[in-house]
Structures are given as C-alpha cells and as structure tokens.
Amino acid sequence: MATFSSSPSSQTPSSPELTNGLSSQAYLESKPVSLTRDLVAELCRHFYTLGWVSGTGGSITIKVHEDSIPKSQQLIVMSPSGVQKERMLPEDMYVLSSEGSVLFTPSPKPYPNKPPKCTDCASLFMKAYQMRNAGAVIHSHGMESCIATMIRPKAKEFRISHMEMIKGIQGHGYYDELVIPIIENTAHEGELTDSLAEAIKAYPKATAVLVRNHGIYVWGDSWISAKTQAECYHYLFDAAIKLYQLGLDWSTPSHGPIGHAQKLLDADSDTSSIAKRCILLDIEGTTTPISFVTDVLFPYARNNVEKHLIATYDTTETQEDIELLRSQVEDDVKQGLSTLPIPPADAGKEEVIMSLVANVNEMIRADRKITALKQLQGHIWRTGYQKNELEGFVFEDVPKALEKWHATGIKVYIYSSGSREAQRLIFGNSNYGDLRKYLCGFFDTTIGHKREARSYSEITQSVGVDKPSEILFLTDVYQEAVAAKAAGLEVIISVRPGNAPLPENHEFKTVRSFLDI
C-alpha cells in the first residue's frame, strides 16, 4: 500500500470529511481509495496511447465511490502535474476532500523527478464537481479537440448534428444537435476557471467545455460515463475535421457542401430576404392541424393507456413514467386539481394501473401541458407508429418550407408541449415521409413552459445565436407569441384551419402558409 504524507491543510478539521473519518490514514489506505488510485493511473496510461495526455499534459480525476457515502461528501483522487502519464503509478495520486482541500500528498521521488504537485486543472475540476455533481472529469489535450476549435476561429461553440456517436453524449440522440461551448485559452491553466464556470452555467445541458487551441474538459456521473463521452467527443471532432477536409458541413443535418447555402441565397431573391439564423416551430396549429392532436393522438393514447401499462408495467421505462405521474398527481392533490391519488407500488399492479388510467384520462380531457403526461403519451404513440396504427400529419407547405430553409442554411428546431420523442415520431412518420433530416433539434416543456419568456431565453442559449432576434418563432398561440417576443425573438403567428381566434388589434404578423415567409 502506498504511503502518503499529510499536507498542512489536513491537520485542522474544516469539512465534514475531516470529522467523519474519511480523512483518516485507515480510510485513505482502504480498498475504495486504493482502487480509485489504481483506476486513475490505468486511465492515464490508456489515454497516453490515444494521444490525449502526451508530454505530461492533460489530467484525470475521479471521486471515490461508496454507496454509504453521499456523493457530495466523497473524496476525490486527482492525477499530479508534471508526471509522465504512461509511467503513472497509484502512489503518484493526490487525495482531496469534497471541498477541494488537499488531504494527502504523495512522497517525493528521487531526481530527475520533480517535487510532487497536484494538477494545475484542480480548480477547473472542482467547478465540474460543484456545479454538475460530477463523478469524474477528464481533461484531454487530444489533437482533434484542438483543431475542432480552430476550423472556425471566431465560433463560440462547436456544433454537430445527425451523427451516430452523438447518442453517446448524455441527454442526446441521433437527431439532436450537439452544442459544446468554446472558451478562449490563457497562458496558465488556473486562469481558465472563471470562464469555464461561466460556460457550465450558460450551457446547462453540456457535459463538456472546449478550450481553444488547448483541449477539452469532459465530465460524467461516473468514470465510465466521462470516459464514454470523451471517446464520443473525440470521434465527433475527428469526423468534423475530416468532413471539413472533404468540403462538407458537419454542423448541418445533411452534411452538404460548405458554402452551398450562401450560393443558394445569392441565387434566390425570394429566400435572400430571410435574415434569421434559426427558425423555431410549434407543432399543434402550426405545422400540424389541431384536429390531428385532438381527434387522432389524444384518443389513441386514451384508448390504449391501460393496454400499454399492463404490457409494459415491469419495464424500467414505464416505472419511470409511473413515478413521474405519481409525483405530478401528489402536487395536483395538494393544489386541489385532483382527488385521485396514485397508490404506492406495493398496493398491487391492478390498483395502481386503475388509478393511473383515471388520472391520465382526466389529464387528457383537461389538455394538461405537463411533462408527466406528455412523456407517457409519447411512449404509447411510439407503439402506435411501430404498429402502423398511426401516421404523423403536417400541412402541405411544411415539407416544402423545411427543404427550402434547410437548403439556405437556416437551422430549424421544434418546440412543443409534446415530449421530444412524440415530436420525433410525428416528423419521422409523417404523411410526407421522414422530415427529421431537416430538423436540428427538439425542445419540450422540460426546458420550461411555453408561455414563459425564460423558456425562450433558455432556447436562445441552446441554439447558439448571438442575439435572440436571430430566431424566428412560429406559433398559433397568442400567449406563446407574447412570451417569445418578451425574450427578444421575432414572432409570426400561424393562422391555420381550426385554430382559435386571435385577440383583436394584436401586434403580430400572421401567415397562412410557411411559403409566405
């Protein structure tokens, strides 16, 4: 077992760890800590072979996981600075408290080794631990991560869409646009701390931050998650570089020729007047008739909810749906919106399903715009599409407009109260075929309610425009239009058959067809 010498900061109790035995020599020599030190050393050697941590650059840190210790209080193992990563040994590691105090320092080694020094990345690692409750953080100097920030030297983000490996990034799927913030490099690593923290705050869905001409910081819930995502990020950077070398645009769904969009803009006077970088579309009453939702989707969900719950009751997905609904109903009961509480799981499958069916049907009748309902509906509809019992429906002008906008380089996103899965199903199984190739991403009510301005501010941050006015939002709902306008977006109201009447003397432009834009 490696011997560690105590640093001055370990002498005075100043954190929960120092009073509950986590900082004791016995614990530091325990199996969990030992295995974590072994793992960091092993990963350093592995990442050296990948070219991520050559020349002593880069670093890795992992929390010491134990089920009996809250994650926020777990100790942290960090690799040192200035040590050849391919020769890294477990005894070279530093051990820190959850607050970042160095508890023990590795013993010095003889010449020509340098005196022990904790990684210069320590303050940046701590931001990921504190702001994202990470379980591990990887800092890579991989060449791919450097060049990816240099292709577009003024870009504040790296963006890529419609690549299989995007599915390896937490919270993302194939059809999602992956957005990674880019911060500017500094002469000394520690000087990046504030800008990295600002990027983490500004991009709540991001699990990485790129440093221009330098590398990348990647975090995950565990070392496996961080490692998996780091591998996927490097793959995507490499793909973007190769696509760029081939003259192809990695950031668009079709990965078409770079510059093709501008040529089309110059040649087409009708589309050159579109000055927006992004278009954000509502679905119900905008791309799709309200009647499709009320007369097709809602009845299908209502008629199949019991069958779906019975058939999938024991699956993880359905149990998560049930817990989300149970939590929602508990809040509804407290607010007097419901008198049908969902019994606990031990009450029996039949009783739980009966209560769920009653609540879901009531929510559908009330057209509740809540995540718990929309998530379950999306899973029911997925089965319907798989069985060819459902087909998505969009207005005739929609596919034509999507194709035109896509060709001119405008990125199109969807924002609907329906779940992201439900949105993908409509456009992926539409009466005009799979339209998802024209879409860069999907937003639902997990980002915020559609009648709140802050939801549109969050979307503005996610799609990466310089200012909100570069986004055009199309909706049929006046209150949504007001909220989006308050957030600075340009807004046009969609007037379609069956839509609710608009207030008199409202201030918004209206269109009856996307082709009129």
Name the residue with higher pLDDT: 193 or 252.
193
| Separation CA 78–CA 479 (nearest Å) | 50
CATH architecture of 278-285+393-516: 3-Layer(aba) Sandwich (3.40)
Q: Binding site for Mg(2+): which residues?
A: 282, 284, 476
**pLDDT above 90 (res 24):** no
Q: What pLDDT shows up at residue 270?
A: 41
Confidence (pLDDT) at 104: 87
Q: How far apart are CA 354 and CA 377, in angstroms?
A: 16
CB 455 within 8 A of CB 448: yes
Lowest mean pLDDT among 106-120, 246-260, 374-388, 444-458: 246-260
More confident residue, 494 or 254: 494
Contact between 474 and 492 (Cβ < 8 Å): yes
25-246 topology per CATH: L-fuculose-1-phosphate Aldolase (3.40.225)
Q: Does 320 have pLDDT greater than 50?
A: yes
Q: What is the pLDDT of residue 259?
A: 60
Q: Does residue 275 carry a pLDDT above 70?
A: no
DSSP string, 289-309: -HHHIIIIIHHHHHHHHHHHH
Q: What is the rounded distance in angstroms from the CA atom of residue 443 to the CA atom of residue 279?
A: 13
Distance of alpha carbon 369 from alpha carbon 444, whole angstroms: 10
The residue that leads in pLDDT, 331 or 237, is: 237
Instruction: Give the pLDDT confidence score for residue 464 in this predicted structure.
Output: 75
Residue 266 pLDDT grade (very low, low, confident, very high; cuts 50, 70, 90): very low
Say if residue 276's pLDDT is above 80: no
Q: Pick out the residues of the known binding site for Zn(2+).
A: 139, 141, 214
For the chain, what is the mean pLDDT? Answer: 89
Q: Is the dihedral of CA 428, 252, 162, 204 positive or negative?
A: negative
- Angle at CA 17, nearest 5°, toward 14 and 19? 70
Put the strands of the sheet holding 94-96 in their side by side order: 4-6, 102-106, 94-96, 76-78, 59-63, 136-140, 215-220, 208-211, 177-183, 157-161
Could you tell me the residue ranges of all domains in the chain? 25-246, 278-285+393-516, 290-387
For tokens 């999306």, the residue is 378
pLDDT, one tens digit per residue, over 33-64 is: 999 999 999 999 999 999 999 999 999 999 99
Query: Per-residue pLDDT tens for 470-499?
Result: 999 999 999 999 999 999 999 999 999 999
Per-residue pLDDT band for 3 (boundaries 50, 70, 90) equals: very low
Q: Which residues pair with 94 in a beta bridge?
A: 78
User: Token pair 């969050």 is at which residue?
Assistant: 458
User: What span, in angstroms and rounded, lies between the C-alpha atoms of 413 and 464?
Assistant: 12
153 upstream amide cis, omega within 30 of 0: no
Residue 371 has pLDDT above 90, yes or no: no
224 CB-side CA count, 13 A: 1
Q: Give me the torsion for CA of 405, 407, 409, 412, rounded to 10°.
A: 40
How is residue 125 written in tokens?
């690692």
pTM of the model: 0.65
Give the pLDDT confidence score for residue 307 in this predicted structure.
Answer: 94
User: 181-228: per-residue pLDDT in tens?
Assistant: 999 999 899 999 999 999 999 998 899 999 999 999 999 999 999 999
DSSP secondary structure of 191-219: GGHHHHHHHHHH-TT-SEEEETTTEEEEE
Residue in this structure with the two tokens 């709540």, named with its chain if needed: 204
Cα separation, 3 vs 381, in Å, equals: 59
Give the least confident one: 171-185, 267-281, 465-479.
Answer: 267-281
Using DSSP, state whether 310 is helix, strand or coil: helix
Q: 123: pLDDT confidence band, cut at 50, 70 and 90?
A: very high
Residue 206 and residue 252: Cα distance in Å, rounded? 19
N-terminal to C-terminal alpha carbon distance within the chain: 71
Whether the predicted pLDDT of 19 surpasses 70 = no
CATH of domain 290-387: 1.10.720.60
Which residue numbers are catalytic?
164
Torsion of CA 241, 246, 251, 257, to 10 degrees: 160
